[in-house]
Structure 1
Amino acid sequence: MNPPTIKDVAKAADVSVATVSRVLHNLAGYSDKTRQKVMQAVEELGYQPNAIARGLVNKRTQTIGVLFPDVSSSFSSDILRGIEEIAQEKGFSVIVCNTAEEGKRTMKYLQVLREKQVDGIVFTSEVLKDEYFQVIKEMRVPVILVNTMSQKYTIPYVKVDDRQAAYHATDYLIQKGHREIAMLSGSLKDQIAGYPRFEGYRQALADNGIEYDESLVAIGEFELEASRLAMRRLLAEAPSFTALFAASDEMAIGAMRAAFEQGLRIPDDLSIIGYDDLKFARMVYPPLTTIHQPLTMMGRMASEKLIALIEEGSTQVASSIVSHHLVERQTVKSKP
């Protein structure tokens, strides 16, 4: 059986197709009684307005594109949950694109989103390169950044202050009595999360009179296995340390695995603090002390800002720095 059409609705409500269209698009020119008849027919028939047909009226496809470097990660799924919650509330569909590490497929997916004629784009966790910005500019659609920001282009963003949050994590370890504190850091070329979190770590040491020791820092990737290997190198080559700040929860858990392999007990022999507060931070043993980023809320905020730009035709919305907080669990112990 074919799905009901707008003509079927018009026949059931005993009105013209044009009247049904006006009701569905909240345009003027009909009585309340007529609106009730049309909406009753829509409900009884189970009519679903066609997105392409709606687009002919409002010049929109009611879709937004979301670009993630890794859609399989818990980090991305938490942000996406918030984006989709608001999109569904507002009648938008979401196209999710996995750009892969270092944006290997970003240009390809921007072209896909252009062909799909999306109404706006949420761009997450990656540097907005010049070539990306140029494509988006040519598309003439609004864009919101999440967990990233542009130092070159004036584009609204939603993110935590990474430097301040990393400072908070390191200072917490110091207040627990630790002074030999190592770090697993992202790339220092990464101006979004890598370098700011490293700077927060280093500044916390300086403000507490602790000399920075380059040999206590391992530069790696925000990934489990790479972090396990980086932690093994730290344990084998660096001066002894009693605590570790890992720049992500995945890094922290990779480090915990390496520590266990070396026979170290956490937190008795080594205290570890992470960053993100992903779901599995609560599930590992011992449960991970970490910095909480409100990822789902960040996704909701980004979606709200983007849809406001789309629907209201605003030229800009304000950026948002969202608050982080420290979640104490069982991987940090006070040093006597």
Structure 2
Amino acid sequence: MKNNVTIKDVAKLAGVSISTVSRVINDSKPVTDEVKQRVLDVIKETGYVPNPLARSLVTKKSNLLGVIVPEMSDSFVSEVVNGIECVAKMYGYDILLANTYSEKDQELKSIELLKAKQVEGIVMISWTLDEEHVQLINNSSIPAAYISKTAQKFDVYTVCTNNEDATYNMTKYLIDKGHKEIALIMTSEADTILESERRTGYERALTESNISINPDIIKYGNTDYNSGYKAMMDLLDKNIKPDAVFVTGDEAAIGAINAIFDKGYKVPEDISVAGFNNSKLSKIYRPKLTTVGQPLYDMGAVAMRMVIKIINGDALEEKKFVLPYEIVERESVIERK
């Protein structure tokens, strides 16, 4: 019976009307304590599970939240999603996850799909957020928060760290370790706000230390392993062997390390390598990666909390929430005399 039990069965066994059972389930109108307990006992005995669609029609709530990600296998994304999911569960929400493989058409389709599924809010992680994404979600009137390299271009709720200061401090850390020629491999395109902030921080640290800026050792790529490998190999193929390389993404930094090894050099003895994010990969790869620690779990948790606050009508003091970062020292950077 447990597999086929209906609200009608519960009402019959409890000796009440179907509408009374609905009131108990949805807590929509008061019923006596005795009747409520009798209905709850029958629900427990029969294993009845309310129909979520029918329940949403009564409560006007789907208890669903949408999460859009560019690539679930990416270490940055997976750790952010852990924070998102934990907070959603804490507040009684289920997650609908849309993996877009960084394709804009899929991102737009995912927004439409989540709207059709009547999600109450959306957290969107996107490498390149643009006006069309924001406008489509705004037009749907669905509360949303964004984690994206380009979110700062828009008047939206977003979670981030101070990328300029973080890049400055890691570059300064490498300089203080005795590195003079520091290559920069950017895991973002040359015309993004994020790239501008990070490059500014890098150049500021060099300038303050009277180190000339060499555009030949600044490369652009993406967040993945292959992009980091290719960018580092391009430098080494041109006989450019820097003292250190700062890669603004951990996965790409590991790609750079393997390129260095494949060229016959050692890390950190010949070339020091620093990353960005402090993802799980940075802790388990050898040599363990020195990196800028972003609180990835917290980024997801805060973004989801922002969405739930908007849903509940709670006031938010700021649209942009900036989280702290730290320099995490491990094995991939050596002090040069």
Work out whether 1:313 is the aligned partner of 2:313.
yes
Work out whether 1:89 is the aligned partner of 2:90.
yes
The Cα of 1:253 is off from its aligned counterpart by 0.5
1:78-125 Cα offsets, whole Å, 9 max, x none, are 111111112222222212112223534212222222222221111113
Give the match for residue 331 of structure 1: 332
Distance in 2 (alpha carbons) for counterparts of 1:151 and 1:268: 39
State the SS of the aligned residue for 2:62: coil
State the SS of the aligned residue for 1:127: coil
Residue range with higher mean Cα deviation, 287-296 or 34-43: 34-43
State the SS of the aligned residue for 2:276: strand
Distance in 2 (alpha carbons) for counterparts of 1:268 and 1:59: 62
Give the match for residue 273 of structure 2: 272
Structure 1's unaligned 5+ residue stretches are: none
Distance in 2 (alpha carbons) for counterparts of 1:197 and 1:240: 22
8 A Cα contact 1:65 1:95, kept in partner: yes
8 A Cα contact 1:309 1:317, kept in partner: no
Give the match for residue 293 of structure 1: 294
8 A Cα contact 1:149 1:157, kept in partner: no
Aligned pair partner of 2:189 in 184, 187, 190:
187
Give the match for residue 164 of structure 2: 163
The Cα of 1:201 is off from its aligned counterpart by 1.4
State the SS of the aligned residue for 1:101: coil
Give the match for residue 203 of structure 1: 204
Distance in 1 (alpha carbons) for counterparts of 2:153 and 2:226: 34
8 A Cα contact 2:129 2:148, kept in partner: no
Does the C-alpha gap of structure 1 residues 263 and 276 become closer, same or farther in structure 2, counting only changes over 3 Å?
same
Work out whether 1:153 is the aligned partner of 2:167.
no
Distance in 1 (alpha carbons) for counterparts of 2:83 and 2:58: 28
Distance in 1 (alpha carbons) for counterparts of 2:273 and 2:117: 45
Give the match for residue 49 of structure 1: 50
Distance in 2 (alpha carbons) for counterparts of 1:198 and 1:104: 30
8 A Cα contact 1:188 1:198, kept in partner: no
| Identity level (%) | 35
Q: C-alpha root-mean-square deviation of aligned residues, in Å?
A: 2.0
Residue range with higher mean Cα deviation, 14-23 or 163-172: 14-23
The Cα of 1:27 is off from its aligned counterpart by 3.2
Give the match for residue 178 of structure 2: 177
Residue range with higher mean Cα deviation, 326-335 or 297-306: 297-306
Distance in 2 (alpha carbons) for counterparts of 1:41 and 1:304: 35
1:149-201 Cα offsets, whole Å, 9 max, x none, are 5345321111112222111211111111112111111222222x333222221
For these two proteins, the number of residue pairs brought into alignment is: 334
State the SS of the aligned residue for 2:151: coil
Structure 2's unaligned 5+ residue stretches are: none
Distance in 1 (alpha carbons) for counterparts of 2:224 and 2:147: 20
The Cα of 1:289 is off from its aligned counterpart by 1.0
Distance in 1 (alpha carbons) for counterparts of 2:104 and 2:128: 9
Distance in 1 (alpha carbons) for counterparts of 2:198 and 2:33: 58
8 A Cα contact 2:160 2:299, kept in partner: yes
Residue range with higher mean Cα deviation, 312-321 or 84-93: 312-321
Does the C-alpha gap of structure 1 residues 3 and 329 become closer, same or farther in structure 2, counting only changes over 3 Å?
farther
8 A Cα contact 1:68 1:125, kept in partner: yes
8 A Cα contact 2:309 2:316, kept in partner: no
8 A Cα contact 2:160 2:323, kept in partner: yes
Does the C-alpha gap of structure 1 residues 153 and 184 become closer, same or farther in structure 2, counting only changes over 3 Å?
closer
